[in-house]
Amino acid sequence: MAWAKTKVGPTQRVVSFGVLALLGLIAVWLLVQQSRFNPAVDVALRVPIQGRPQAASGSVLKATAALLPEVEGFTPLTPPESFGPENLSDKIDGKAELYLSAGFKEMSCRSFGLAGNTRVETFLYDMGAPPHAFAVFSGQRRPGAANILLTANAYATANALFFTRGRFYAEIVADKAAAGLQNSLEAYATALLAKIPAAAGEAPALAVPFPKEGLAPDTVRLCSANSFGCEGLDNIYTGEYTLKNGKATAFFAPRETPAAAQVDARRYLDFLAANGYQKVQAPEAPAETQVLVLDNSFEIVFVQARTMAGVHDATSLAAALELAGKLRLKLQEKP
């Protein structure tokens, strides 16, 4: 069977030639661009991704690195690494802001191996001052963790130890719980404490003037910045209570002068008012004590000498007034 020839018209010939010409131009353009390859592209491809851990030999070791001991039974797995404010997030991404807002200076860490294929990471933070060390210690504290007698501020979990000594905060964390692990971690902590310089002015957890009745001791914290979400309300001690009339949080903030305490009290009251809190008439409250409420959450603010103090998020007016009264008495006992 013979196929009939299809007759191609002039228009089709012009279109075909145009397509072929366009394809030829594209091929020439690609060849030219390849001949002009920018060497900077190759450099960019070889630049390490920011935040990805690099070789420890590339880090500049800080003073805290020299304080990390080598202890019998702990086999070094890595050299020490050190971090400053500019790159702390490379190591603890997502948590760095807690340390930075509390006055962080530097941190060094190192990994060790223990018998039974347990890996232990040690971290030593220089926070610059004892209250700053306590701020991160209390801010990181695991609820319900048991206090230990290692230092004035120390607690343990199933696989870790956390403590402060002067301006330093330390974490010794294993990748899993194991029999005898706590003894090993305490041995390392003891060796570390022997190398940390002795300093006056231990972290202030034991000195905070909170009433003891109803206080959950493991809830005592120091918030370094923007306490309760109020911008500029810094360095506030808090403690959580369970009372017969409900739950509440006590707070206080020592300041340099009574005038400074008044300024912070006004700052917090203005913040509460801006967020919808309304004043409550409470004749039983002492003079110059402000009581506010929003959706059955009660706040009390007062100034005692050079300390701004009060009650936060009380579940009843009775609980708020009870705790504020006890806190005021405690503050009056301070020299």
The whole-angstrom distance between residue 305's C-alpha and the CA centroid of its chain comes to 31
Longest dimension (CA), the chain: 117
Structure tokens at 273: 């008012």
Residue 170: how many other CB atoms lie within 10 Å: 26
Q: How far apart are CA 305 and CA 151, in angstroms?
A: 31
Of 69-73, 104-108, 280-284, the poorest mean pLDDT is in: 280-284
- Which structural domains are found in the chain, ordered by start? 59-195 (3.40.1000.70), 208-333 (3.40.1000)
Which residue has tokens 């009775």? 318
Nearest to 192 by CA among 329, 80, 324: 80
Q: What angle do CA 222, 227, 233 make, to 5 degrees?
A: 105
Of 28-37, 42-51, 117-126, 193-202, least confident by mean pLDDT is 42-51
pLDDT computed for residue 34 by the predictor? 42
Contact, 298 vs 291, CB < 8 A?
yes
- Compute the distance between CA of residue 302 and CA of residue 291 in angstroms, rounded to an integer: 9
Cα distance between residue 82 and residue 160, in whole Å: 21
**Number of CB atoms found within 10 A of residue 3's CB:** 5
**Adjacent-strand bridge partners of 50:** none
In sequence order, the 6+-apart residues with CB closer than 8 A to the CB of 233 are: 226, 227, 253, 264, 267, 268, 271
- 91, 115 in Cβ contact below 8 A? no
| Beta-carbon-side half-sphere exposure of residue 73 (alpha carbons within 13 Å) | 14
Helix (H) or strand (E) holding 94: none
Token pair, residue 295, equals 């959706």
Q: Residue 293 forms beta bridges with which residues?
A: 278, 298
Q: Is 32 helix (H, G, I), strand (E, B) or coil?
A: helix
Q: What is the pLDDT of residues 34-91, one digit of tens each?
A: 433 332 222 222 223 233 333 333 368 899 999 999 999 999 999 999 999 999 999 9
Integer Cα distance of 138 and 227 in angstroms: 14
Give the model's pLDDT for residue 260.
97
Do the Cβ atoms of 108 and 65 come closer than 8 Å? yes
Q: What is the DSSP letter of 180?
A: T
Q: What is the CA angle 135-136-141, rounded to 5?
A: 105
Whole-number Å distance between alpha carbons of 57 and 147: 37
Q: Which amino acid is at 227?
A: S
If you average pLDDT over residues 319-330, what whole number do you get? 95
* pLDDT interval class at 144 (50, 70, 90): confident
pLDDT value at residue 202: 57
Distance of CA 297 to the CA centre of its chain: 27
pLDDT tens-digit series, residues 285-322: 888 899 999 999 999 999 999 999 999 999 999 999 99
Instruction: Tally Cβ neighbours within 10 Å of residue 75.
Output: 13
Per the CB < 8 A criterion, the answer to whether 276 and 294 are in contact is yes
